[in-house]
A and B are shown apart, each in its own frame.
Chain A
Amino acid sequence: MSLAAPLTSVRPDFLTRVTPAARLAAGMTWLIAAIVTLDPVVPTRLAVAATVALVLWSGLPLRRVPGRLAPLGFAIVSLTVFSILLSGANADRSLAAVAAFGPIRITAPAISAGLAIGLRVVVIGLTTLLVFGPSDPTRMADSLVQQWHIPDRFAYGTLGALRVAPFMADDWTLISASRRLRGIQPRGVAGRIRDAGDRLVVMLVAAIRRAERLALAMDARGFDSGIKRSHFRELRVGWRDWLTIAVAGAVAVGSVALPR
């Protein structure tokens, strides 16, 4: 979730003034374009477009962006490398090997397919940042409820869960620490799996406790009491929203349709 969490010190810019639902719609077109194609060209074009949008219109503090994307770096590198190594094209003797290490051959189509997969993850990461980065989760929930008519219970319930989520990570650390200090160290694969299961149960019990208390506090303040909710911050759909969706859509179509 950290990728989707808002970066601090966002300065107002074009994309921060676009409603979150519109950013989500625009982002979807890119994700669809990145997923339906199998070559590396389309995701490269989208990655370039996403970077341009990030630099020019997102209002995000750019020096923080690499740090935010870092967790994805491992996934990108490992997916790319393994996709190249394990590609079926490498077994095709009719293709010339670009490189060979003993029995391992690497062919040009394998490299292309591997890059396509790695670059897709890059596009997913950058797009997520563009969609979620410029506003906090409350705005996203407000926007989805007001514009897409997502049920309140779902949207604000999820927000409540998001608030509680960071505690779960802390809980996991404490639970694991406590077991070590109590002298409990699982042996063998089965022991480790059982131990992880035990820890998970404790974490879930703690999370449910917390969620129950939060739900009670929400109820005490009239949440989901049958009255139609109003909104403190009313989001208005404007020309920026439509322009964003139109431009993003055009980029998505263009990146797929233009000759490669």
Chain B
Amino acid sequence: MTLPELGAAGYGAPSHVAPSIEAVGLGWRYAGRPAPALIDLHFKLEPGRVLLVLGPSGSGKSTLARALAGLVPHTLAGDWQGSLRVGDLDVASTPARFLGEKVGLVFQDPDCQLVMARVDDEVAFGLENRGRPAAEMRAAVPDALRQVGLADFGQRSTATLSGGEKQRLAIADVLVSRPSLLVFDEPTANLDPPGMFETLERIAELARLRRHTIVLIEHRLEAALPLADDVLLLDDTGRQLAFAPAGSVGRSDAALLEASGAWVPRTWLGADLPASAGPGRRRMPATGEGQLLLRIADLTVDYPADLSGTRRALEGVSLEVRSGERIAIVGPNGAGKSTLLFVLAGLRRPTSGSVGLRAVVSEGEPAEALRDPSRLPAEEIAGRVGLVFQDPELGFVARTARDEVAATDRAIRSRLRGDDHRPPDSDGVLARFGLGQLAAQDPFRLSQGEQRRLSLAALVLRPPAILLLDEPTFGLDRRGTESVVEMLDELKATGQAQLLATHDPRLLPDCDRVVAMDHGRIVFDGSPDEFLAAPPYSPPDPWRAGVAAVAAGALEAVGAVGAAR
């Protein structure tokens, strides 16, 4: 792919020469936090090179990105140590606005970095803030949009863009100021496969142009390593493990890279590292015919007429789920995955068709009748269906982790009097899920990975028969993903059925079944192997290209299906 012609004014070329980056004993601790985010970094990146920063969640990668843009220490408060230089500017002593002109920072969450309602206003925002004349902006804005392949999007509302388009827009937002250093902070972590694909493609193109110094934080090693000139590896305390040319990073470093939370290509892992092959290795054979827990028949859901008219979210969906089954629900954004989960949780009534749920019964007991989830009282629905959100924070109901784990049990006990009053073993559950030290912590103060684990731990004392998960691995690094899969395995072993709406092809080998949706219909229902071999989407659907690309990387990365064949 070639870059579109630059505008007459040459926007997109950096206003300064690409800078070097030099850290000498760099450290940072956020005000009010006991532990530092970064400790004693020493490295020097030569001008115009691409640096890949690897490290597990909590290793200070984002803090480094913020420091390069001057947000640390100028906007955020804390203790600064050592020095960081971007070209000839010393970050600690240079006002943020001078750094801001030189550095473009793209964040992880596309929804939390777009300010304006219209695409061209959005791109102009950074130039307006710097007081650039209108005539300059009128040339620069369309040019920046062209560079990210959004040439005709100027008049569009930012709310109508897909995740990948939003992230490309965020790249245009920084390119328009002609920065000489570009910093990408996990730019693909919140995107679906096509969004990830198109965003990485743009970054690869910028890297090839060699006009900027680039710092890329990304844990998809298979996609990011080929772009990098140098690699900086951080550990989970914010210390530097290594700084080395990317060419020298190879199989012999697999263990070190694994420790950094990166997804390491499977082929790098020797036979002596079987335990680190990632999720997929733990796939359990489906255990015969489980009990029928859920039956959906000919389900159709329309969203009520709004200004844009009635929208059909699901059409003629039929599905049966049995105990002990794990089903991945995949499909492009807007395919109906979330609506399906919401109907199953009784949060949305079907327009037509039926949904029936029932609890697991022990052997010999008669099966319950199938019940409509939207008509069940709260204390009864809790035992039948659980829902874990993409953003676990929204699901928290208590002020400490310990109470969070006990909350459902407590609510049910208070309803069903005469139940025994033995206090539940919340601490035991927390310990099993690696949260033992955090029992008295406020759930909102935990890290993203810890929050996700807590949201699953909270389901253990009263495990629902069916667990619904909306993007359970969103924004998690490899370790976080692995620990989520481990916890799901533990719950599944009790006979729980699990439905995962996910964009992450790496989870598929861990599932018993894949249900693919498109435009509100089920277009595929079969084994993960069949699905990965031939995603059921007709080309030129970008979702298919994205899945194929990610699946190829993922297969190599985790080797799950690849090893099976």
Contact = CB atoms under 8 A, between A and B. Distances in A.
A227 B117 contact: no
Interface in A194-227: 198, 202, 205-206, 209-210, 213-214, 216-227
A119 interface: no
A137 B116 CA distance: 9
Interface stretch (B122-130, B324-332, B488-496): B122-130
Contacts of B397: 178-179, 182, 184, 198
Interface in B376-391: 377-379, 381-383, 385-387, 389, 391
Given A138-B116, A184-B407, A218-B115, A205 B444 contact: yes
Given A64-B307, A185-B377, A213-B113, A221 B100 contact: yes
A230 B134 contact: yes
A222 B74 CA distance: 12
B215 to A, nearest CB: 14
Contact of B115 (A156, A177, A180): A156
Contact of A202 (B118, B126, B393, B411): B393
Interface stretch (A22-30, A109-117, A167-175): A167-175
A64 B308 CA distance: 9
Contacts of B386: 181-182
B75 A7 contact: no
A66 to B, nearest CB: 11
B15 to A, nearest CB: 14
B507 interface: no
B473 interface: no
Interface residues of A, number: 55
Nearest to B97: A225
Nearest to B390: A174
A231 B396 CA distance: 43
Interface residues of B, number: 74
B394 A219 contact: no
Nearest to A175: B394
A254 to B, nearest CB: 34
B197 to A, nearest CB: 23
Contact of B75 (A206, A216, A230): A216
A235 to B, nearest CB: 11
B284 interface: no
A182 B128 contact: no
Task: Name the 6 nearest CB pairs between A and B, nearest first.
Answer: A183-B382, A232-B124, A185-B378, A217-B113, A213-B112, A225-B97
Interface of B: 66, 69, 71, 75-76, 95-97, 100-101, 105, 107, 109, 111-118, 120-121, 124-134, 137-138, 141, 157-159, 173-174, 177, 306-308, 342, 345, 347, 377-379, 381-383, 385-387, 389, 391, 393-397, 407-408, 411-412, 415, 444, 458, 462, 464
Interface of A: 7-8, 64, 67-68, 136-138, 156, 159-160, 162-163, 166-167, 171, 173-175, 177-185, 198, 202, 205-206, 209-210, 213-214, 216-234
17 contacts: A7-B307, A163-B116, A179-B397, A183-B381, A183-B411, A217-B113, A218-B115, A219-B71, A219-B96, A220-B71, A221-B125, A223-B125, A225-B95, A227-B131, A232-B137, A233-B134, A234-B134
